[in-house]
Amino acid sequence: MATVEVTFTPLPAHVRTARLVATAVARRSGVDESLLDEVRLAVGEACSRAVEAHRRHCPAEPVRIEMTDQDHRFVVTVSDHAPNPQTPADTGPRDGVARNGTGHDGASHDGASHDGAGHDGSEYDGLGYDGLGYEGGSAIPAGFGLAVISGLAEDVRVLSTSSGVSVQMSWPSTASAS
């Protein structure tokens, strides 16, 4: 089993580095070229989410990414250590993430990344897109990043505890275990 671990200071500038490393490792693990864009986007979303959570709660703590070849699947786990007052149970496969992580039901605490501008907390804004109500950099509701990830990876699991959140994603690979 080959594992690559990366930890980085929770700065937005490092998210791109994490994307590049994950894409490179995925390619070496035998993930099909046609899926690499999805890997890059999904890992970027997970890292952005973790960076925002850390910047809010524990800016001195690094974000961690683990990349593993496992049973012909390339598995990426992005873990943060931001305290989470909401501790939903493990959501399991994609369906569970879609139900709990999109922000439409109010779940998820920090969700998609944003540029730190303030929120006005308003509700539906008439664009026909629920949850758009933030004044500031991002008009995307919390949990949106997880929703994007669930649309990109076949198997997405979110484990949320009081000590942090781990987002695990996987894609098929052709490399054999080493």
Partner 1 sequence: MDLKLGHYNKDGIEVVDVEGEIDVYTAPRLRELLIDLVNKNNYQLVVNMEKVEFLDSTGLGVLVGGLKRVRAHDGSLDLVCTQERILKIFRITGLTKVFGIHDTVDLAIAAKKSEK
Residues forming the site for partner 1 (CB under 8 A): 12-13, 15-16, 19, 37, 40-41, 44-45, 48, 51-52, 112-115, 125, 127-129, 132, 134, 136-140, 144-145, 147-148, 151-152
* Through-space distance between the first and last CA atoms of the chain, rounded to whole angstroms: 5
| Cβ neighbours of residue 124 closer than 8 Å, sequence gap 6 or more | 130, 131, 132, 133
Nearer to partner 1, 139 or 159 (CB): 139
Which residue, 34 or 162, is less far from partner 1 as judged by CB?
34
Q: Output the smallest distance, CB 159 to partner 1, in A.
A: 21
Give the span between the Cα atoms of 36 and 78, in whole angstroms. Answer: 17
Distance separating alpha carbons of residues 64 and 166, to the nearest angstrom: 9
* Shortest reach from residue 134's CB to partner 1, in Å: 8
CA atoms within 13 Å, Cβ hemisphere of 28: 13
Residue 23 C-beta: closest distance to partner 1, Å = 11
Smallest gap from Cβ 103 to partner 1, in A, equals 11
Nearer to partner 1, 70 or 96 (CB): 96
Of the candidates 134, 156, 139, 125, the residue with the CA atom closest to the CA atom of residue 45? 156
Minimal distance in Å, beta carbon 111 to partner 1?
9
Rounded-to-integer distance, Cα 49 and Cα 43, Å: 10
Q: Which is nearer to partner 1, 10 or 68 (CB)?
A: 10
User: What is the layout of strands, in order, in the sheet containing 63-69?
Assistant: 3-8, 63-69, 73-79, 164-172, 155-161
Comparing CB distances to partner 1, the nearer of 15 and 78 is 15
